[in-house]
């Protein structure tokens, strides 16, 4: 039985195995495409851990994740969104810039899952790629025109990302106006996140 078929497997332990054995690493890549839930989840958690702690081990497979964004189902896109965001912190070849439109195009995906996760991971990318901050901000500020469903929930994730890089953003006024507008939205969660954001940054 594959190590990725074990329920409750430790992602860190699996990642360590993958670092030592190329076959295990390949199993992880194959596993995210598996039809078995436990295999997919263990494989994703392993690759996500590697992308955070040992990005060099998966950076060479960038195109694998880029293809998931373009052609995968919602789960595949979710995997790619998280791992690519982690890899932007060590992207010497500026590969993210080449797929920027594909990545942020997922804000308009028919499923809210990719849209929400793109908004949620944007703070990581904006900090890793400060030269892209204004364009990232533009995409997030345009959620009403891009996102198809559950816009308020996606906005909540966007505000959390804005919080990550607001201090160094050149678009603070526009971001603040966007967040203020969410104080009257229908989602209690989004209203609270907006209120907390404004209270935090009004003190600076």
Weakest-pLDDT range from 1-10, 85-94, 133-142: 1-10
- Mean pLDDT of the 130-134 span: 97
Residue 158 and residue 120: Cα distance in Å, rounded? 6
pLDDT of residue 41: 94
Tell me the per-residue pLDDT of 136-190, one tens digit each, with 9 for 90 and over. 999 999 999 999 889 999 999 999 999 999 999 999 999 999 999 999 999 999 9
Q: What is the DSSP string of the chain?
A: --GGGSTT--HHHHHHHHHH-HHHHHHHHHHTT-S-HHHHHHHHHHHHHHHHH-THHHHTTHHHHHHHHHH--HHHHHHHHHHHHHHGGG-TT-HHHHHHHHHHHGGG-SSHHHHHHHHHHHHHHHHH-GGGHHHHHHHHHTHHHH--S-HHHHHHHHHHHHHHHGGG-S-HHHHHHHHHHGGGSS-HHHHHHHHHHHHHHTT-
Per-domain residue ranges of the chain = 1-59, 65-166
pTM of the model: 0.94
pLDDT of residue 174: 98
Tell me the per-residue pLDDT of 44-81, one tens digit each, with 9 for 90 and over. 999 999 999 999 999 999 999 999 999 988 889 999 99
Residue 38 and residue 14: Cα distance in Å, rounded? 13
8 Å CB contact between 36 and 1: no
- What angle is formed at CA 107 by the lines to CA 45 and CA 69, rounded to 5 degrees? 45
């Amino acid at each position: 039985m594959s190590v990725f078929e074990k329920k409750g497997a430790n992602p860190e332990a699996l990642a360590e195995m993958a670092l030592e054995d190329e076959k295990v690493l390949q199993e992880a890549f194959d596993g995210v495409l598996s039809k078995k839930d436990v295999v997919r989840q263990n494989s994703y958690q392993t690759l996500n851990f590697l992308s955070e702690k040992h990005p060099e081990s998966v950076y060479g497979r960038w195109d694998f994740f880029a293809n998931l964004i373009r052609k995968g189902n919602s789960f595949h896109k979710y995997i790619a969104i998280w791992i690519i965001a982690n890899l932007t912190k060590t992207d010497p070849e500026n590969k993210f810039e080449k797929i920027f439109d594909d990545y942020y195009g997922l804000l308009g995906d028919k499923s809210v899952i990719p849209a929400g996760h793109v908004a949620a991971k944007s703070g990581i990318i904006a900090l890793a790629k400060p030269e892209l901050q204004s364009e990232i901000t533009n995409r997030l500020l345009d959620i009403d025109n891009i996102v198809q469903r559950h816009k308020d929930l996606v906005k909540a994730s966007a505000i959390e990302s804005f919080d990550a890089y607001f201090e160094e953003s050149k678009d603070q006024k526009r971001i603040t106006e966007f967040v203020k507008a969410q104080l009257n939205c229908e989602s209690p969660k989004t209203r609270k996140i907006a209120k907390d954001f404004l209270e935090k940054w009004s003190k600076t």
